[in-house]
Amino acid sequence: MSAPGPTSYGDAWADVYDEWFGELSDTTPAVGVLAGLAAGGVALEVGAGTGRLAVPLARAGGTVIAVESSPRMAGRLRAKAQGLPVRLVVGDVLDADWSAHLPPGGLALAYLSCNTLYQLPDQQAQRRCLARLAADLAVGGRLVVEASMPNLALLAAGRSTSMRVLPDGRVAVTTVRADPAHQRTTTDTVVFDGPRQHVLPVRERYVWPAELDLLAQLVGLGPEQRWSGWERGPFTSTSTGHVTVYRKSSL
C-alpha cells in the first residue's frame, strides 16, 4: 500500500463525511465563535472538507478562503458553496497559493477544526503550516485550532477496537493503534456492506497543548483563549478536546 499523503483522508472519506459528521452538534456554536472572531473580515480554513464550517461562515457574511487538499472533498464543497463568498483553493496547505484572495491588510482569522492540524505528518509540517498562516494574518488577527486531547487510556493500552451500528444498519469496526514514541495514531474503520468491505483511514500526528502553544509562539502567535470546545466551556484536566485561540501581535 502506498504511503498516506495529503489527499488520502479526504478522498477516502468524501462520500460519507457529511453523513457521519455533517450534523455535528457543535457546528452552530463553532460558526458563532468563528464569525465573531472574523468580525466581517476574511477568514481562511485549512482542510475545509465538504464545507461544514466554511459554507455557514460565508452565509454569516464573511469571505472564506477554503484550502482543501482532496479533490473529492473540494468537489463537494464547490457544489455547496455556489453563490457564496467562498474562494476554494485545491492543494496542500504547505504549498498551495492563496495569495490572490488575500485582503490588503491580511487575514482576520485562520482556523483548523476537527484535528486537521494532526493530519499533517510531523512536527515540522505542523510548524510550517502555522508559519504560513501566521505570515498572512493581519496584526491582531486570530488563529484558531480545534483538536482532541491525546487519549491517555489508548496511549497506555497501545490499541483499541470498537464497533458501532450505523443508522442504515451497516456495522462499522474501528481499530486504533497508538505509537507514543512518534505521537502518531493509525485508525482504520472497516464498514461492512454485505459482502463488501470499505476501509476509512485516519492517520494523525497528535500534538500536546503545551507543544501547540510553543509552535504558535515560534511563529509569532500568542495565546488568547483555550476552551474545552466550541461551546466555550472551561478547559480542565478532564477535557477531551480543546479550542484554542492565538493572536498575532505587532512584535
Ligand X SMILES: C[S@@+](CC[C@H](N)C(=O)[O-])C[C@H]1O[C@@H](n2cnc3c(N)ncnc32)[C@H](O)[C@@H]1O
Sites of contact with ligand X (CB under 6 A): 6, 9-10, 21, 46-49, 52-53, 67-70, 73, 92-93, 113-116, 119-120
Residue type, 147: A
DSSP 8-class letter at 40: T
Q: Closer to ligand X by CB, 17 or 194: give it.
A: 17
Is the Cβ of residue 41 or residue 49 nearer to ligand X in the bound state? 49
- Taking the complex as a whole, how short is the minimal distance between the CB of residue 232 and ligand X, in angstroms? 17
Nearer CB in complex with ligand X: 10/41? 10
Q: Which three cell numbers, joined as nine digits, stand for 202?
A: 485516519
DSSP reduced 3-state for 142: strand
H/E element holding 129? helix 123-136
Half-sphere exposure for 119 (CA within 13 Å, toward CB): 26
User: Rounded to the nearest whole angstrom, what is the least distance from the CB of residue 85 to ligand X in the complex?
Assistant: 18
Grouping H, G, I as helix, E, B as strand and the rest as coil, residue 67 is strand
Q: Residue 22 Cβ, how far from ligand X at the closest point, in Å?
A: 8
**Cβ closer to ligand X: 93 or 130?**
93
Task: Please list, residue by residue across 125-138, b when 16 or more beta carbons sit within 10 angstroms of its beta carbon and e when fewer do.
Answer: bbbbbbbbbbebbb
